[in-house]
Amino acid sequence: MAFMELAKNRYSERYFDTRPVEQEKISLIIEAGRTAPTACNYQPQRIYVLQSKEALQKARSIRVSHFNAPLMMLVCYDMNTAWRNPGDRWYENYCSGEQDASIVAATMMYEAEELGVHSVWLRGFDSQEVSEVFDLPENHIPVMMFAMGYPSDTSKPSPWHFQRKPAEETVKIL
């Protein structure tokens, strides 16, 4: 599928089927994340695959809107590895970790879509709680989770999915 078609068709899934995602597809999704660009190619992303009943239950305990997905990814960054820009006057000691982890997550979500696996970006959680529940190393900072799985029979995009602001409103050519 052409990328623009994939990008336009991908939507945040909220109605997952219960069948598990095959390990081969999980591996391809992870590999897509490994190939994503990061600042200076430092690759600070740390990906936690949540697929056991115990891990999914932990995720559900901290995030209400998990949509009963059979698989979740917790994407973090290692603050000891992320690129920093101490010379930025607006963002003192800028850290690329959140940006890098977000690019990795988006790349993984597009690969999942290409494989027929739907996803939804989840962020309404307290990072410290996530760290505690999953006993993450102190230097692994949670950025986001995404739920993944196959769409159910009732799956459909939200009414807002296909609405886009005019380019003139979001793009400025200088």
Tens-digit pLDDT profile for residues 34-69? 999 999 999 999 999 999 999 999 999 986 677 889
> Distance between CA 116 and CA 122 in Å, rounded?
19
Q: Which of 30, 28, 148, 40 is nearest to 100 (CA)?
A: 40
What pLDDT score does 87 carry? Answer: 85
Cβ atoms of residues 144 and 105 within 8 Å: yes
Q: What is the pLDDT of residue 12?
A: 93
Question: pTM here?
Answer: 0.93
| Paired tokens of 149 | 């799985």
Collapse the DSSP code of 127 into the 3-class scheme (helix H, G, I; strand E, B; otherwise coil) and give the result. Answer: helix
* Residue-range domains of the chain with CATH: 3-170 (3.40.109.10)
